[in-house]
Each structure stands twice: as C-alpha cells, then as structure tokens.
Amino acid sequence: VSLSVQFIGTGSALPKKNANPSCQYVFCENRHFLIDCGEGTQIQLRKHGVKFQYIQGIFISHLHGDHYFGLVGLLSSMHLLGREKAIDIYSPPELEQIVRSQLELGGARLAFDIRFHNIEKNDEGIVFEDKVLEVHAFKLKHKIPTHGFIFKEKKKLRSLLGEKFHKAGLSIAFIEKFKLGEDVIDRQGKQHSYLDYTANEKPSYSYAYCSDTAYSENVISWLKDLDVDVLYHEATFSASEKDRAKKTMHSTSVDAGTVAAKSGVKFLFFGHLSARYDYFNVHIDEILPVFKSVKPAIEGEKYRIEELLRQH
C-alpha cells in the first residue's frame, strides 16, 4: 500500500469519552510507524486492528504527557507478546531517561532493544530514511521543544512494460537500469532507450503531522519546500478562543486553515480539540472560508493519501 494514515487518538490533554490522546498510525509499503503515543494507545491499536509487532518506529513530537504517556505500556505489551525485534524511537533526548527509568525501577527487562534517536531542540531535517520513504522533522512553536514530521515517499521507479521487454529478448540485467530511467548498450553495441520498455513512474505522496503548535511561518515554509500533499494540523481552539490559543501556544481553527492555504497543501485534517468542544461543526464552519478541502481527524478512520487526493 502506498502512503496511508489512520487516526488512533485525536483528542487533547484532558480525558474525554470519545477522544483519546494523540496517536497516528502511518504506513507505507510494509513500513509501519506511530506518531505520538498518548495514554491508552495500545488499547486503541487493539480496537482498530493495528498489529503491535509490525510497528518499527515511533516518532514523539514533544514531552507533554498526552503525546507519550502510552509508550511504556505499549513497549511492555510488545515484550509480553514475544517481540525480539528492536524498535526505533525518535524523540526529544530526555525521553530515553524517562522510559529507561520507568522500566528499570520496576525490574522490567525487555527482550528487544529500544534504539533512541535524539531530536535536539533545534534539529531539523531527515530523521529516518530508507529506499521507499523519508521522514523529516521540523520545529513547531510550542511551550516546550516540539517537532512536526513529514512522511515523504521517495521518487518511485518507472514501471516495466513486461511484454515489450520480454519480446525484445534483452538481458534481465537491464531491467533495473530501465526502471531508473537509464538507457543501456547491449553487447552488439546497440543502444536501447528506457522509454521503449518502461512507463512513467507512479507519483509519490507526502503527509505532514503538526501537533502541538501556535501558528508558525516555519511550518508553512517546510510544507511548501517539501511539497506536502496532505496536512494534519492541530486546531485546539475555535477562533473565538484566540487569546487562550496564544497563551497556551496552540492553534485555532482559522490558524490551521491559514497554514493549509498558505502552504499549498491539497487536503487538511484537523484535531486535538480542547475538551470543551463536543462537536466539530464550529471548527469546520470557521475553516471552510479559509480552506475548502478539510475534514476532522476522526478516530479509527484510515486514508490512503493517493485515494484521498483522487476524491478531492
């Protein structure tokens, strides 16, 4: 499956009947990640059928409890379920001490390694990369050091026109080159163009996660520079609570819509609503005049970015 996201927890700090604290599940071509891991994440993952052991990495945006209090519980359960494969955690540096103390003071010894990758306060740039995907961290504007994350598919390979290729009787060693968009010269000295044997590559997609943050120009320039398709942006408050948003360094609905509009993304999800709101309608009404393609992030809902963009 190409780049996809499922909302696991979309609430904010205070407990609410229908909104768990922050967590999102991002997956792409057999790669599986969580962003944030609020309290109760493991129960939420169970509820929505996400397999614990598939998760290879967890990105933690910042150390406010509603973004990571579920971590030790999840790690412990992974151990109980027999995990041996290491897990990577990308987070503010202090998290390592928190997690290791929690485990050690209780005498827990996990059967798998936790590899911590520190994201320092002022770090920005690629924090994870493999053949298919890269993840960029960038600074948000919040009360404590906080990072957003952009998941970006790498440029894909051109697709082989199998029948044409086999008819030509060329060496299969050429396939890789053709897919990369390179011409080859065979042993007889004849040149073969990749254009004859491959079709254009499929487009690559990207997804950005921004929670928690006040309105930030830095966010806009990162989204623009990396040409982000779909944005999740927090909208803790409605526009009438502008002052409270400012004080707590969160965003209003209009802030989220403005960031989406200015950065040129194609679709916006919003969430992390303060417990004072029972419904999404106030936020939607306020965002629509600023940015049209918007939906609330609803717990359990799953989207393939490619499909979402085709529909909107």
Return the amino acid letter for 247.
Answer: K
Q: Work out which of 8, 41, 60, 64 binds Zn ion, going by CB under 5 A.
A: 64
Q: In angstroms, what is the minimal distance from the CB of 210 to Zn ion?
A: 12
**What are the distances in angstroms from CA 297 to CA 22, 196, 197, 259, 273?**
11, 44, 42, 17, 10
- Given 66, 212, 229, 255, the catalytic residue: 66
Distance CA 129, CA 150 (A): 12
Stretch that binds Zn ion, among 64-72, 91-99, 125-133, 229-237 (CB under 5 A): 64-72
Residues 6+ apart with CB under 8 A from 68: 36, 37, 38, 60, 91, 95
Distance CA 181, CA 58 (A): 34
Tell whether residue 147 is a contact of Zn ion (CB under 5 A). Answer: no
Q: Select 3 or 58, whichever has its Cβ closest to Zn ion.
A: 58
Q: Select 145 or 257, whichever has its Cβ closest to Zn ion.
A: 145
Query: Total residues contacting Zn ion (rule CB under 5 A)?
Result: 2
Q: In angstroms, what is the minimal distance from the CB of 251 to Zn ion?
A: 11
The tokens for 116 are 């911590």
Residues in the chain: 312
Stretch that binds Zn ion, among 59-67, 122-130, 273-281, 301-309 (CB under 5 A): 59-67
Q: Select 31 or 64, whichever has its Cβ closest to Zn ion.
A: 64
Q: Hey, which residues between 190 and 219 contact Zn ion (CB under 5 A)?
A: 212
Q: In angstroms, what is the minimal distance from the CB of 93 to Zn ion?
A: 17
- 66 has catalytic annotation: yes
Cis? peptide before 212, omega within 30° of 0? yes
Closest CA to 27 of 51, 9, 47: 51
Q: Select 212 or 286, whichever has its Cβ closest to Zn ion.
A: 212
The tokens for 24 are 């999102």
Stretch that binds Zn ion, among 2-10, 56-64, 106-114, 232-240 (CB under 5 A): 56-64
Torsions phi, psi for 77 (to 5 deg): -65, -35
Q: Select 212 or 255, whichever has its Cβ closest to Zn ion.
A: 212
Closest CA to 12 of 59, 47, 73, 64: 64
Query: Which sequence positions are flagged as catalytic?
Result: 66
Positions in the binding site for Zn ion (CB under 5 A): 64, 212
